[in-house]
Structure 1
């Protein structure tokens, strides 16, 4: 599940996920019927409009052993919001399908560590890196230190702690549009903390957050790159 955001703006992240999974011996399918997970609609109160989106998700991904996405935000929607949408629809069949499929949907680092039992994917990335734990992965999914465990096993990578790491970056989807001043202020705090680490690269599991913080860092000409976790793990010597 590449997610809308990655499909439209960060396709290299999807390719990186594919490279890592295939390196680990996973047979990967990409159902072309996949579309939005429905999170933007649910978050803004359009639950009825999200029903056909959830139906499409179920049809697109049924039959797979696992659904893997490089986004804690979208996986959080599938695991926590789809059931709400399905119940509201009054369709018992849809509710049953969601209940069966949602637990098999994993954020990328969850799948590697919990399902495949791997924390060393054979990557090499000789750079000083700091990691931002995105809100949905941290709070909705409880991903915990799985991304850091993966990063610590990357050859040559120096992982440095990010001050106030658990604070939101300020993106929040439509929050950044509706509350732009607050969003930018929160993002500026996050960018300042990134600079305090002296890191060359900021890594996270959601490109939406990286777009926000990365934009602020770019405007400051800070010289700090932003990369999705999958793109780091995809690099080999």
Structure 2
């Protein structure tokens, strides 16, 4: 069985090119100076984090880590699985995980993050959500493509509005109650840029009919939407203080 965590490094250049960054105002809610970033990918959040202080970033994929070093040369990028990485003796002021917390072992992720932090330090979990809006009819029509080529697709699946996305954070007596900050924004994609984005998603990469699905979606964008769609995002920042 494929470990979906390993799919992101198969085409690191595409991941760097296609994955969206994060709203700049998000980083105003964070403070260093010693920062640990878990699963930085190619460094979309790493570069702005280096403005807060010294960043140690722990990335599973050597290919992604190499691009993160190029993008954020001030950061120290370590190739390792955070679930098993030996924590340093000096605790951090801030631990950040952007769009990757769900890949960590749910049985240990909160305790390991707490162990990496000084008392009073902050755990920041950034999540990215696909929400309703933008070119709304496209996201209705594209479900037919998924239903044709991915048998696991629920019929008539629809995106939820941003207001309906829950404020979720693991319960832990090691942390105080979390605070949430939410940012709604949009990106416009031409046909090839949208196809590029889809090919960075692990569930698309491993789909047996992936190529046919992507061609079907390309055709839909070109023929019905003039080669351009607008995709809305909700970025949620949850922060909690280490007790």
Scaled by the length of structure 2, what TM-score is found? Answer: 0.34
Pick the structure with more strand per residue.
Answer: 2
More helix by share: 1
Q: TM-score, normalised by structure 1?
A: 0.34
